[in-house]
Structure 1
Amino acid sequence: MAVDTSKYPAVQGKNLILFARKLSEAKTKRGMPVPYQTSIDFEPQRDKKTDATKDGYVSKSSPLQTDLKLEFVNNWSEIADKLQMSLFNGDKMEFWIVNYQRRNSEGKAFAYYMRGTVSEDETDGDPDDVSNRKTTISVEGDPVPGWTALSEEDEQMLAYVFYGVGEVGETAKNDGTDGGGTPWKAGDAGTGTPYDPSATPNDSTLKNQ
């Protein structure tokens, strides 16, 4: 049976964008996209171990572990500097892998939310090329899927629990709805609408959701 590509479009790598924010600044700052991204590696994995017993083999799973790596052209944006400071100072960060292409009925984008610290930040400086950064993040706990509102500014830049990328405000609810987020539900599996810029609610509408 042929796949309905209009209903389930293939995910384009260019539409997966990493946003980040220093956790301690969640009350006042929005999550920021890291400029000039070239690659994201998102690798959740769960190892299985098999023990031999007198009654046969017993299989058990280890806790979920997630590897997150980002490559981008080196720059001195605020968020690029804060990623490096996370390595130097141990600052805990928030991260969103946003699928800019996949939207729900409210126009929010599908994303994975996670927290962690930068464990490695490699910079190259070849004389005949731009400098590149390879950043490795140690993720704490499990990534959480959900839907996040994007501001008009976010939309413009990208066109060139679960937390949304918006600022949390004075009181965090910690229930997956802070910052314009909508928690993932079992019924969300397989759903989504390809992004249509002309049909996306404006910034003021998103801020009220």
Structure 2
Amino acid sequence: MADNELAYLQGMDTVAFFRPLSKAKEMEGQLLPWQTSLSFDPQRDSDTNQTKDGVVTTSSSVETDFEVEFINNTSSIADMMYDSLFDGIKLEGWIVYRNRRNAEGKYFAWYMQVTVSEDSNDNDPDDNSTRDTTFSVSGTPKRGWLELPQDAQEQIDYIFHGLGKVTDEDAQGGGTSWRDGDAGTNAPDTGSKPSEPKSVAAAPTADGAKVTAK
């Protein structure tokens, strides 16, 4: 990417998805609803030893701190956090950056395999119930690019709908989402006319004859 195409990344467009590792063949990754904060902190500790030939630096393996805060809710993925904490169920986790895409239209993401190590729940009387979930990350997080399945996209951003019925065959109800290059669009009149309405009941004329409206 050229310098003049640089774009800043916003926290509100950085979201976490999860799925039980054992169900990778059965279900898509699920967005954790109502996230309020996401912290991702990979780090590597290093140490130095003084030798007769100078200083030698040694490094440990990468360790990753991963934490998500969200408004407590009744989603299956929120309940799954407790399953991971109490039963040691391993989860797949993705951090998806929705405003960073490659030429193929895929989103930049981090992928991890995690288990929940702590799940703190606060319940103030004048506020929403909130949870702060901390994860233990197995191995090293992996970088890559992914597609957002339609269900996942609709969870985090509603799509444009037309006035028609939303069906399996027409998920946008006859509408078409705005695209780059649509600004200023106003196609000239081709001379075609809307289809004529169906005939309505006959109406009497002044002399009593009935004329069918077209």
TM-score (norm. length: structure 1): 0.73
- 1:80 maps to a residue whose letter is A
Higher helix share: 1
Moved over 2 A (4+): 196-199
- 2:99 maps to a residue whose letter is Q
- 2:16 maps to a residue whose letter is L
The residue aligned with 2:95 is 97
- 1:33 maps to a residue whose letter is L
Quote the RMSD (CA, aligned, Å): 1.5
For these two proteins, the number of residue pairs brought into alignment is 160
1:89 CA displacement: 0.3
- 1:77 maps to a residue whose letter is S
The residue aligned with 1:14 is 12
Give the 3 Å change call, closer, same or farther, for CA 96–137 of structure 1 in structure 2: same
| Aligned-pair identity (%) | 48
1:153 CA displacement: 2.0
Which SS does the other structure have where 2:148 is aligned?
A: coil
Query: Gapped runs of 5+ residues in structure 2?
Result: 159-176, 181-214
Which SS does the other structure have where 1:82 is aligned?
A: helix
- 2:135 maps to a residue whose letter is I
| 8 Å contact from structure 1 (residues 100, 158) kept in 2 | no
User: Quick one: distance in 1 between partners of 2:153 and 2:25?
Assistant: 22
Which SS does the other structure have where 1:9 is aligned?
A: coil
The residue aligned with 1:119 is 117
1:17-166 aligned at under 5 Å gives the runs: 17-159=15-157
TM-score (norm. length: structure 2): 0.72
Which structure has more relative contact order (CA 8 Å, sep 6+)? It is 1
Which SS does the other structure have where 2:153 is aligned?
A: helix
